[in-house]
Structure 1
Amino acid sequence: MSTETLTYADVVAGVQASLAAYTQAMDSGRFDDVLATFSSDAVFEIPNFGVVAEGHDAIREYYATTTGGAPLRHVVVNTLVSDQKEGEVEVSSDLLVLQKGDAGWGLIMVGKYQDILRSVSGAWLFQRRTLSFAI
């Protein structure tokens, strides 16, 4: 189905599926599945920490060096899909990161994702994913 025939609701559902696939894969440590949510020339960045990873190899390397330890849960909320044009959309979401410790689950970070997703063979893939933390 081409993006010209998709309704806004179709686009939102597809984007939300991509966000959920990313988050579920991250929290399960399935980094090949995380990478499958990015286009091959994607950029992932965290400006607060000077992180810029361009392309699958760099994104894989970033995740390999920054994950592990106590279980985490990334909770993505308040997602707004906007500026749909020619197979791309801009997406803004709030992020809560929970970590499991001896006393149970606790909030450890609050942030915001600013994303550009591109429709590729019927799936919405991250072209650019920018994560900013409220520090």
Structure 2
Amino acid sequence: MSEPMEALVALGVRAVIGAHTQAQDAGRTDDVVALYTPDGVLELPGAAPIEGHDALREAFKGWAPTKPQLHLVANTVLNSWTEDEATAVSDVAFLQRGESGWAVQVIGRYVDTMRRQDGTWRLARRSTTYQP
């Protein structure tokens, strides 16, 4: 594949990651779910995988913010890619604002597998790990 194609894939992958982060932090559950393939999977440490739009919608509704929060996603690296599938790894810091200001709650990593369907990139699988 060509460098221009790799750049287009990377741009699409990063756009999905950014849209997911902003929608989740704003509590826009339907916007988050729309970023997953219909059979999309979310894996979190210590929990059974969350599979499909209905299960994802219920999970993200339960995680809707009750106070200001930010997922800061950085260092995204495209590990493998074709025109229709890509895997990327990103670092994430989750912050919440409390009475004394913003504080880091969790540091972790996302491993995302994305697929392009009908010309649009979607999350097929997100595996999250937390740093001790």
Q: TM-score over 0.5 for the alignment?
A: yes
Residue 116 of structure 1 corresponds to 113
TM-aligned CA deviation for residue 86 of structure 1: 5.5
1:69 positional shift: 2.2
CA deviations on 1:42-77 (whole Å, 9 max, x unpaired) are: 11110x221411100011111122333221100000
Q: Distance in 1 between matches of 2:50 and 2:102?
A: 30
* TM-score for the superposition, normalised by structure 2: 0.92
2:24·2:64 contact (CA, 8 Å) conserved in 1?
no
The answer on 1:35 being equivalent to 2:33 is yes
Which digits, 9 at most, give the CA deviation of each residue in 1:59-117, with x for residues without a partner? 11111223332211000000011211361111100000010011111111100001100
> Secondary structure at the residue paired with 1:67?
coil
Residue of structure 2 in register with 1:45 after alignment = 43
Secondary structure at the aligned position of 1:7 is classed as helix
Q: Provide the secondary structure at the position in 1 that maps to 2:49.
A: strand
Residues 100 and 112 of structure 1, relative CA distance in 2, 3 Å threshold: same
What is the percentage of aligned positions where both structures have the same residue?
A: 37
Q: 1:128 aligns with which of 118, 125, 130?
A: 125
- What secondary structure does 1:114 align onto? strand
Q: What is aligned with 1:91?
A: 88
Instruction: Name the SS for the 2:9 alignment partner.
Output: helix
Question: TM-score, normalization: structure 1?
Answer: 0.90
User: Are residues 1:24 and 2:22 paired?
Assistant: yes
Secondary structure of 2:42's aligned partner: strand
Q: CA deviation at 1:123?
A: 1.6
Unaligned runs of 5+ in 2: none
Q: Partner residue of 1:9?
A: 7
How many residues are paired up? 132
